[in-house]
């Protein structure tokens, strides 16, 4: 019977109206919610759908607060319980026992109003205790409600990977509501939902775009000037501690947002100001996040990169000091790869820009690659080198010539490091002479073998091979 009752409750079509009109008493709601939570993993997709719908509606119409921050509720509960203990006599300071006798204080308060002076004072004190008891009970109910909604977040996050469309759509709606009420874990769930951007279902993509526009691009501020910094902050928060998979999904999301004209020109301008640190109190990590978002936006509108090549070079690649930011330089190289000329025929792919090998862009890239190659503290050299080489081959007129120069400079850098190590160590000169002799001997052997094989089927070039150890 319990199973039938629960399923009937979950599939009831009028549950949203009942909750929004507060037709369900709070004590009854406390008993219903655990049953509804159990049905979120039911075998029937219809039951799961209605269970998540009911949880979303209850969360949106909750009687506790607009921001369900568990830490704040628990800290307030501790403070209010301390106030309640101060009002109680020493012999009955157990808050749990007193909470069950909440109605006695109200009766004493009414009796005290009718009695004499001493009874009136006792009635007033009992009234204060009753009010404090109500506050404590309210906060306890709130903490229980928050705990239940927090436990729903992982379940709905798992439902995002369901093969049933209704599961995914209802789970996305619940996570969006939980994010708005600051339920614990909801931000991670919303970031996980970014994977839906690769879905083949257009309905999934549309729902995801609507959700992100609602959560990140439509702040509550009515002043447009105040709204732009909030939007930029929201977008930059998505890049914090994001994995490569999440960043890839976010890039596709930014393309969809740009195509839908959901990102305005003032937002793009403020991102450029943060990247160049034209506004005050900008950290290096914020500058990196700004140029990362700009590179994502440039995937939908390459003119954003085309019009700011000098800024990318002067602020991203031309870095002075002993510790240049290679993460910032890598993001700039990624954005430079988005440069291309607009083609007159729309059915043909865009033609990339080509710059001479003497362009300042390549000079700065070469300088960073060579100067930071032997730096022991530079763990970002390899990721930067990957994007730098990709930018060279996409934008340079003579990429092989540039990369050859870079390789020769790197060899010189390595030779210099080896030479310094040989001078500092014992017997360094002798080892260097032996290495030279071995190299010369290797050259002679290589030349001799090449002469022996000249008349055979396989011809080996007589040019000596230089081995780099």
DSSP string, 254-314: HHHHHHTT-S-HHHHHHHHHHHTT-SSS--HHHHHHHHHHHHHHHTT-THHHHTTHHHHII
Cβ contacts of 211 within 8 Å, gap of 6 or more: 172, 173, 176, 190, 193
Interval 14-33: pLDDT, tens = 455 455 546 677 778 888 88
Model confidence at 432: pLDDT above 70: no
Whether residue 468 is contained in a domain is answered as no
Contact 328, 274 (CB under 8 A): no
Residues 363 and 323 in one domain: yes
Model confidence at 344: pLDDT above 90: no
- Single out the residue of 234, 150, 144, 217 nearest to residue 186, CA to CA: 150
Rounded to whole angstroms, the Cα distance separating 4 from 96 reads: 35
Residue 5 or residue 379, greater confidence: 379
Whether residue 463 is contained in a domain is answered as no
What pLDDT score does 224 carry? 72
Contact 26, 61 (CB under 8 A): no
Residues 47 and 170 in one domain: yes
Reduced to 3 states, what is the DSSP secondary structure of residue 351?
Answer: strand
For residue 372, the 8-state DSSP code is T
Interval 356-411: pLDDT, tens = 888 999 999 999 999 888 776 568 899 999 999 999 999 999 999 999 999 999 99
What pLDDT score does 351 carry? 59
Interval 34-73: pLDDT, tens = 898 889 888 999 999 999 999 999 999 888 888 888 899 9
Whether residue 241 is contained in a domain is answered as yes
For the chain, what percent of residues have pLDDT higher than 90? 48
Whether residue 428 is contained in a domain is answered as no
Residues 335 and 280 in one domain: no
Q: Which residues form the domain of 239?
A: 219-301
The pTM of this model reads: 0.76
Residues 155 and 35 in one domain: yes
Rounded to whole angstroms, the Cα distance separating 112 from 107 reads: 9
Model confidence at 108: pLDDT above 80: no
The torsion angles phi and psi of 302, rounded to 5 degrees, stand at -60, -20
Reduced to 3 states, what is the DSSP secondary structure of residue 396?
Answer: strand
Kindly state the average pLDDT of the residues 224-250.
90
Model confidence at 168: pLDDT above 50: yes
Whether residue 447 is contained in a domain is answered as no
Kindly state the average pLDDT of the residues 117-133.
76
Rounded to whole angstroms, the Cα distance separating 141 from 68 reads: 12
Reduced to 3 states, what is the DSSP secondary structure of residue 244?
Answer: helix
Residues 71 and 205 in one domain: yes
Residues 80 and 150 in one domain: yes
Rounded to whole angstroms, the Cα distance separating 6 from 35 reads: 7
Cβ contacts of 229 within 8 Å, gap of 6 or more: 270
Altogether, the residues listed in the chain come to a count of 469
Residues 207 and 241 in one domain: no
Contact 113, 92 (CB under 8 A): no
DSSP characters over 65-87: -SS--HHHHHHHHHHHHHHHHHH
Residues 279 and 376 in one domain: no
**Number of independent structural domains in the chain:** 3
Contact 169, 208 (CB under 8 A): no
Final residue of a domain: which of 241, 273, 301? 301
């Amino acid at each position: 019977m319990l199973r039938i009752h629960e399923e009937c409750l979950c599939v009831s079509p009028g549950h949203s109206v009942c909750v929004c009109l507060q037709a369900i008493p709070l004590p009854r709601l406390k008993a219903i919610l655990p049953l509804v939570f159990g049905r979120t993993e039911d075998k029937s997709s219809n039951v799961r759908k209605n269970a998540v719908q009911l949880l979303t509606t209850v969360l949106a119409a909750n009687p506790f607060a607009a921001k369900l921050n568990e830490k704040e509720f628990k800290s307030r509960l501790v403070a209010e319980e301390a106030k309640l203990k101060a009002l109680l006599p020493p012999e009955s300071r157990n808050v749990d026992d007193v909470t069950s006798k909440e109605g006695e204080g109200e009766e004493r308060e009414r009796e005290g109003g009718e009695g004499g002076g001493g009874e009136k004072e006792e009635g007033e004190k009992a009234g204060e205790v009753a009010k404090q008891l109500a506050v404590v009970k309210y906060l306890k109910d709130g903490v229980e409600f928050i705990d239940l909604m927090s436990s729903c977040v992982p379940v709905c996050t798992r439902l995002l990977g369901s093969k049933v469309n209704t599961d995914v759509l209802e789970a996305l709606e619940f996570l969006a509501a939980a994010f708005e009420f600051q339920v614990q874990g909801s931000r991670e769930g919303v970031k996980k939902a970014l994977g839906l951007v690769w879905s083949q279902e257009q309905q999934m993509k549309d729902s995801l775009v609507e959700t992100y526009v609602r959560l990140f691009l439509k702040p509550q501020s009515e002043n447009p000037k105040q709204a732009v910094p909030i939007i930029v902050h929201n977008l930059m928060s998505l890049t914090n501690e994001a994995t490569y998979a999440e960043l890839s999904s976010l890039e596709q999301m930014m393309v969809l947002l740009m195509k839908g004209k959901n990102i305005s020109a003032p937002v793009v301008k403020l991102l450029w100001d943060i990247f160049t640190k034209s506004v005050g109190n900008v950290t290096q990590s914020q500058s990196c996040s700004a140029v990362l978002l700009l590179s994502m936006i440039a995937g939908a509108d390459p003119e954003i990169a085309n019009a700011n090549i000098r800024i990318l070079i002067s602020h991203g690649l031309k870095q002075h000091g002993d510790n240049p930011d290679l993460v910032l330089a890598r993001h700039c190289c990624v954005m430079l790869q988005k440069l291309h000329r607009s083609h007159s025929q729309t059915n043909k792919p865009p033609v990339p820009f080509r710059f001479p090998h003497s362009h300042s862009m390549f000079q700065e890239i070469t300088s960073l690659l060579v100067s930071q190659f032997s730096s022991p503290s530079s763990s970002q050299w390899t990721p930067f080198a990957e994007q730098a080489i990709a930018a060279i081959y996409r934008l340079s007129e003579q990429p092989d010539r540039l990369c050859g120069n870079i390789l020769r400079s790197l060899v010189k850098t390595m030779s210099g490091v080896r030479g310094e190590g040989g001078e500092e160590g014992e017997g360094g000169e002798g080892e260097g002479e032996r290495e030279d002799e071995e190299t010369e001997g290797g050259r002679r052997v290589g030349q001799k073998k090449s002469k022996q094989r000249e008349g055979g089927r396989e011809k080996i070039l007589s040019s000596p091979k230089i081995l780099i150890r």
